[in-house]
Structure 1
């Protein structure tokens, strides 16, 4: 965390999260990371799978279903018995074992028959006695890595799991016979349901894109107003940027007056130093640019930055990144001295001159003022 320039009161913060705020979630993640250091590879693979599930373009009910399967949280008879329900745990389809998740989706005679007739070449016993979670992870990650996000094999694999579960529920709650042909009907219905979901999602995405491109809508500027006046943009524009080397923590910052095409005044500057993050570097660049503008007796300014994270942290009363608490406070205090002070998010190419200065200052370890 950066040190304040002035005397400030100390406060407690949680160093294991960028916000500095402790929550049960961040505490659990920290403990899981520390206690699970001996099983790093397994944890990383599991996290990779969970992240893949949540970013897949599939129905939310499928995502929840896969998550429950991964944590053995699905309501098969064995799990219900563990929760205190007095029920018979035998599989009501084959009567060859207890109905647990592993049996229902892999070892039941019906499951084996469904997988054998599937075009996926899935063999329930091929990977030995690994857990159902590892078995599911293996096939979905395999299909996804080979076919990509538009592939059909991982989708059919999930639909088959879903069909087996729907058929089981039909037997339990509707006294259905639950033949293998009925399971295939459930699988086909699940695939059609998924295709309809994809079609509807595509229509909504197109409608959103059309809405964004509609010329009648006002332009979506992302900006923060810090000055006394909270509207409008000034003609005096200054581009800012920061360059951070993660290995050495060395940084360079730079700012330059943006030419508005009228051949007006020019001016630029830059500094070098160290910072804990790229965001801290960007915040420092903005702060030094505002201080420089005030030293030239400017009362109105438009600052151009390509850092969306900086604007997100400036918006509102609370800082989202505790590491730049004091820098943001300085930005707001200096910005309040201007009649009009706006920080505007722009594209990378609009701060190119400032970027050139930052690299020059960082590489050559020099100030340019």
Structure 2
């Protein structure tokens, strides 16, 4: 663990055996009951690839989370609520016949059947061979994506239809609406309008640089973190940062560089050398120094590109899971909060190649580039 920059920092309790980093009876039980043998995954390879595909779809983040929850049957339909111990009438509010589970709501309810029969997508709600909603949704999204690509309008319409059914169900439950087919059509129309607006707002350069997370169990939409005063959008000032680390000598190098741009920003860069106990320390140090460097230049906003999923995951936790960078994380958040706009974005490794080259040069030559 690195030492804090300030002598005024207080000690804190840390439980390393659970992702929450806090000790409770529940996390203690998790530690005692965990199988310390081979790490098992309940996902099939096909399922993993599908969830990764969700990351690549050019759709709104809320749709990605919605799909992820549908895929895991984590949507709050009445059957799932009852399974969690909540006392509810499990019968569907619309048809009043069957239990409201995910399959019924999105496929087999008379309203869902009407929506799919009315759709231009040629969706078969009772397609043979799909025993679960997960397999049924997976089939159509993979089909549309393979034929149309990640910008598929058919895929967007399919998701917006699922979204419309969900919004209509909530209108019935919480607003005493009838939840008719006309209301579902209205929700689908609004959802597609939002989708078109979203596509025009997202800058193509950023979309193409976003990396798919390697962990299919992480909900989509968590590949960036806003640290600045504004919590939406990306700044035009884009900087890549990366760290390099030698495990044998514990020497480290870091680098940062302004990305090629059409906004008149000079292609400035910088780097330092030092020591680190872990590679994630060098990654965090690189991000911190890049932020300080940008602030010293008077920048009010920055979009910082990093290829470290571990760093971003820790920045999203409070406190972070990785105790070795606790103070670096704290300082990154403090410096980030001083910007009007500050976002750290997870990207592919080749998107930080220039910063990586600088970091390696600083490490090998034990030199700084300022």
Q: TM-score, length-normalised on structure 1? A: 0.51
1:208 to 233, 236, 251: 236
1:96-119 Cα distance to aligned partner (Å, 9 max, x none): 210000000000001001000100
Do residues 31 (structure 1) and 39 (structure 2) align?
yes
**Alpha-carbon distance between aligned partners in 2 of 1:28 and 1:185, rounded to the nearest angstrom:** 51
Give SS of 2:90's match: coil
What corresponds to 1:88 in structure 2? 89
**Alpha-carbon distance between aligned partners in 2 of 1:308 and 1:105, rounded to the nearest angstrom:** 42
What corresponds to 2:80 in structure 1? 79
**Alpha-carbon distance between aligned partners in 1 of 2:204 and 2:135, rounded to the nearest angstrom:** 35
**Alpha-carbon distance between aligned partners in 1 of 2:203 and 2:352, rounded to the nearest angstrom:** 27
CA contact 2:91–2:100 (8 Å) conserved in 1: yes
2:267 to 208, 215, 219: 219
**Alpha-carbon distance between aligned partners in 1 of 2:98 and 2:352, rounded to the nearest angstrom:** 57
CA contact 2:90–2:100 (8 Å) conserved in 1: yes
Do residues 335 (structure 1) and 343 (structure 2) align?
no
Give SS of 2:179's match: coil
Do residues 66 (structure 1) and 114 (structure 2) align?
no
The structure whose Rg is larger is 1
**Alpha-carbon distance between aligned partners in 1 of 2:202 and 2:152, rounded to the nearest angstrom:** 17
What corresponds to 1:9 in structure 2? none
For these two proteins, the number of residue pairs brought into alignment is 219
CA contact 2:58–2:151 (8 Å) conserved in 1: no
Q: Would the alpha carbon gap of residues 144 and 28 (structure 1) be closer, same or farther in structure 2, given more than 3 Å must change?
A: farther
TM-superposed CA distance for 1:32, in Å, is: 2.4
CA contact 1:78–1:89 (8 Å) conserved in 2: yes
Task: Show structure 1 runs of 5+ residues with no match.
Answer: 1-20, 37-41, 227-305, 316-327, 345-369
Q: TM-score, length-normalised on structure 2? A: 0.51
**Alpha-carbon distance between aligned partners in 2 of 1:192 and 1:224, rounded to the nearest angstrom:** 48
**4+ residue segments displaced more than 4 Å:** 21-25, 27-30, 203-207, 209-212, 222-226, 306-315, 341-344
1:95-143 Cα distance to aligned partner (Å, 9 max, x none): 2210000000000001001000100000111134511001100000110
RMSD of aligned C-alpha atoms? 3.9
**Alpha-carbon distance between aligned partners in 1 of 2:110 and 2:194, rounded to the nearest angstrom:** 27
Give SS of 1:31's match: coil
